[in-house]
Amino acid sequence: MDPVNVPRVMDVRYAGWDQLEPTVPQLVKLRTLLRQERVDPAELYGDGFSSLEDLSRWGASWGITFLEAAEQARYVEAQRQRVERENAELLEQSMKGLIAAHFRRQAHG
């Protein structure tokens, strides 16, 4: 049985995965994502977690999906912040241009 944080299998495509051992590629991917995201597997999986190898195929799949979503969310947030910075810089440049044009008109006017 998987640790407490792993939801029950609801998708028929994964029926029975909670009874199968994880695959080697799943474990490699899960370890990589845990390291990249700096996540403690015991915290991710909760009570009942003993080791990655003791997870079911479903538990490993859920962890991979969860960590990939976290990775994507971090990427989206970084892009949002970049766009906000660029917009702020453009606004500042535009305002400076308007102020300079105003003073040029006053000086010649």
Q: Specify the pTM.
A: 0.72
For the stretch 41-59, pLDDT in tens is 999 999 999 999 999 999 9
Using the predicted structure, report yes or no on whether residue 109 has a pLDDT greater than 70: no
Residue 108 pLDDT: 82
The most confident of 18-27, 83-92, 99-108, by mean pLDDT: 18-27
For the stretch 8-41, pLDDT in tens is 999 999 999 999 999 999 999 999 999 999 999 9
String of DSSP letters for the chain: ---TTSPPP-SGGGTTGGGSPPPHHHHHHHHHHHHHHT--HHHHH-TT---GGGS-HHHHHHHHHHHHHHHHHHHHHHHHHHHHHHHHHHHHHHHHHHHHHHHHHHHH-
